[in-house]
Amino acid sequence: MILTVTVNPSFDRTIDLAEPLQHGQVQRVSHSTQEPGGKGVNVSRALQAAGCATLAILPGDAGDPMVEALGAAGIPVECVPVGASIRANTTITEPDGTTTKLNEPGAPISPDALDGIVDLVARRSAAASWVVLAGSLPPGAPADFYARIVAAIRQRAARDGVSAPSIAVDSSGDPLSALLSSGETVDLIKPNGEELLAVAGALGEPVAGIPVDDFEADEAQVVAVAQSLLSPTLGRVLVTLGSRGALLVSEQHVLAARAPVIVARSTVGAGDCSLAGYLLATERGAAAAEALAQAVAHGAAAASLPGSTVPTPDLTHPGDIVVSHRPRVVAGRR
């Protein structure tokens, strides 16, 4: 079972336009959808669509429309009551796949509710092979909250005399920097190019001023920066690069996979589906190259679907993804 934790979930509405967005104008909507969202929730949705056991943990009250929508979709979910509605995010998608996101900050979470989340995750992690910590933190949560959850998971496993689950993190900014600086062990992080640059800079790497587009186009530079984050407490970096594919960097290997050519309909949740594809493959015993191929195939399939729709396995084609070994660029610095 793969456990996902989404501390700042959202009820996501996606609006598809028939024509490019015109600022200040009235436009007709060709299609709209509303799905339970937030990075971890999207991972659980993609895993459930592939027949993989999952449990989504999030803050939310019984009867909240998003919690009810998860139940209606057959996604196992456990919530910590917070006495506030789950936020709503809106994504506007143009015909060429360009997306504009309007994300609400989320309701503040009390210290008691944060304690409840930590306790619930630690208890449920005993039955998990992976725990996924994903997304931003809501107002009221300290930057080191993910580090606190990781510590609780490992302390619980040590107390019970069992192996702790593997831990994957898909976050950015201060929460990710605080986690990587905490000394807590994480098995995988999944940044995109912009997030990788930001966390490397926050941890002291000389990356200031590098344009994101130039960075993502320079594979060797992406590898070097990803390698700079590797340490005894961080095992792997899965870097998703949109239409350029993805890289998997560890002390053992550097693997690159090119994305297939698709007609992009919406990139909402594509990175989350990439992580789900990777975890799905590893759950089924795949080697690193196969897991990377499944990650890219899942992400591409998601981007070809409307809104935040997650792909079923028949829509992914990992056998078509070419995975290549790349040389190491620099040794990890920590």
Distance CA 117, CA 81 (A): 10
What digits encode the pLDDT tens for the residues 153-194? 999 999 999 999 999 999 999 999 999 999 999 999 999 999
* Confidence category of residue 331, pLDDT binned at 50, 70, 90: low
* Confidence category of residue 97, pLDDT binned at 50, 70, 90: confident
Q: Taking Cα atoms as reference points, which of 230, 221, 198 lies closest to residue 329?
A: 221
Mean pLDDT of the chain: 94
**pLDDT of residue 45 exceeding 60:** yes
Return the pLDDT at 332. Answer: 41
Structure tokens, 193: 């190019």
C-alpha distances out from residue 33 to 14, 72, 76, 190, 195, Å: 5, 15, 21, 27, 27
At the fourth CATH level, the homologous superfamily of domain 2-325 is Ribokinase (3.40.1190.20)
Report the first-to-last Cα separation within the chain, whole angstroms. 32
**pLDDT of residue 105 exceeding 70:** yes
pTM, 2 dp: 0.92
**pLDDT of residue 284 exceeding 90:** yes
Q: Taking Cα atoms as reference points, which of 96, 103, 90, 88 lies closest to residue 17?
A: 96
Distance CA 296, CA 290 (A): 10
* Confidence category of residue 250, pLDDT binned at 50, 70, 90: very high
**pLDDT of residue 330 exceeding 70:** no
* Confidence category of residue 42, pLDDT binned at 50, 70, 90: very high
C-alpha distances out from residue 197 to 2, 177, 251, 253, 283, Å: 28, 11, 19, 21, 29
Q: Which of 12, 64, 144, 272 is catalytic?
A: 272
Residue 119: active-site member? no
